[in-house]
């Protein structure tokens, strides 16, 4: 495959960019459908005039349906996307990016998807689609899966589907999260994943940030102890990686707390821990849930984070050396490999 692509690049140097652009267009429509031309142009950072010719061509070849509601992929368009997937890594240089990240970060498996989540919302959908696929591949009967909150993990939930292997699986929230956006809380996503797959789930009804006295009181609650016991047995951990300051602001840190975190050099956040560029824990939230040492003990740790802005956070958390799989995008990958 690689040799064939190299020959095509030499003989038809314009072919690869055209294929890439049309693949990205089809993938964008797939994740956003039905969508109008103006909305698609805005999402892809181009103009309607430039987009019109490409859309007309794809419509003529039978890959698109265009209705009053907007554009959507035809059955043949879906088939083309599926058939292109095995060659996308080589076609767009994603395989080389993934291999470079494996060496740089010391992670056993890295998957890079096209695009930059900071620029195109559909890229996060693609991260979720791949995350769902990987989870299906590694799941076994009787597994306990610890899941965090966040938009990347919400996208994974959206792309899951029923499977016999999931019937005896339990999804468990890795942390509490009352006070955050309900649709992005770990509780919500654990229940959504169970509903999508036919699995079961447990809930952890505790705030994300706790006063030390409240923390000790809640730790004595039987329901909390039961969930924490399950988390300690989790074989799979599915989580996102956050930018430290972004996550702190989301949790309504005060100005003094933000300055303290910034002064400590916090770069990334995961599981309520804040890490600096060297991967050293600089702050730990008083929270109930999965502890970092339990993450290290899990058999499969799947990390999902994309966007150029997440590059430093991804590099920081990689120093923990607990990930088996990293799913990221071109924006983050190219930024990481340029440093």
* Fold category of 93-337 in CATH: Rossmann fold (3.40.50)
pLDDT the model gives residue 326: 98
Q: How far apart are CA 210 and CA 307, in angstroms?
A: 31
Q: How far apart are CA 301 and CA 311, in angstroms?
A: 19
Average pLDDT, the chain: 89
* Dihedral sign of CA atoms 147, 322, 233, 213 in order: negative
Q: Is 93-337 in the same CATH topology as 2-84?
A: no
Instruction: Classify domain 2-84 by CATH number.
Output: 1.10.10.10
Task: Tell which residue, 264, 223, 224, has the closest CA to residue 244.
Answer: 264
Q: pLDDT for 239-269, tens place per residue?
A: 999 999 999 998 889 999 999 999 999 999 9
Q: Rounded to two decimals, what is the model's pTM? A: 0.87
Q: pLDDT for 6-41, tens place per residue?
A: 555 555 556 778 888 888 889 889 988 999 999 988
* Token code pair at residue 284: 């730990």
Q: pLDDT for 114-162, tens place per residue?
A: 999 998 888 999 999 999 999 999 999 999 999 999 999 999 999 999 9
Catalogue the E-assigned strands of the chain.
64-67, 70-73, 109-113, 144-147, 170-173, 200-201, 236-240, 242-243, 268-270, 273-275, 281-284, 300-304, 325-329
How do the domains of the chain map onto residue ranges? 2-84, 93-337
305-319 in b/e burial notation, b at 16+ Cβ within 10 A?
bbbbbbbbbbbbbbb
Q: pLDDT for 173-224, tens place per residue?
A: 998 775 567 888 999 999 999 999 999 999 988 877 667 777 777 777 888 8
């Amino acid at each position: 495959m690689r040799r064939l692509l190299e020959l095509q690049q030499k003989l038809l140097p314009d072919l690869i960019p055209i294929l890439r652009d049309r693949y990205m267009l089809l993938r964008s429509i797939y994740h956003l459908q039905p969508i109008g031309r103006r909305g698609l142009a805005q999402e892809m950072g181009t103009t309607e005039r430039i987009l019109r010719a490409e859309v007309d061509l794809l419509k003529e070849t039978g890959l698109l349906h265009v209705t009053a509601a907007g554009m959507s992929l035809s059955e043949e368009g879906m088939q083309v996307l599926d058939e292109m997937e095995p060659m996308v890594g080589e076609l767009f240089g994603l395989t080389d990016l993934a291999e470079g990240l494996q060496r740089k970060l010391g992670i056993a498996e890295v998957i890079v998807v096209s695009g930059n989540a900071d620029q195109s919302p559909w890229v996060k959908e693609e991260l979720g689609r791949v995350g769902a696929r990987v989870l299906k591949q590694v799941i076994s009967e009787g597994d306990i899966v610890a899941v965090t909150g966040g938009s990347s993990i919400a996208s994974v939930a959206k792309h899951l589907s029923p499977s016999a292997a999931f019937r005896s699986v339990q999804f468990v929230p890795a942390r509490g999260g009352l006070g955050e956006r309900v649709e992005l809380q770990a509780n919500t996503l654990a229940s959504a994943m169970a509903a999508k797959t036919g699995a079961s789930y447990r809930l952890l009804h505790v705030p994300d940030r706790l006063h030390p006295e409240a923390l000790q009181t809640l730790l004595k609650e039987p329901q909390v102890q039961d969930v924490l016991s399950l988390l300690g047995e989790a074989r799979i951990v599915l989580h996102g990686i956050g930018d430290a300051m972004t996550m702190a602001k989301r949790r309504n840190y005060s100005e003094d707390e933000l300055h303290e975190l910034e002064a400590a050099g916090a770069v990334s956040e995961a599981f309520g821990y804040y890490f600096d560029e060297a991967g050293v824990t600089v702050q730990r939230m008083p929270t109930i849930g999965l502890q970092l040492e339990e993450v290290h003990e899990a058999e499969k740790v799947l990390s999902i984070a994309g966007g150029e802005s997440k590059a430093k956070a991804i590099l920081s958390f990689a120093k923990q050396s607990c990930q088996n799989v990293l799913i990221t995008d071109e924006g983050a990958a190219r930024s990481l490999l340029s440093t």
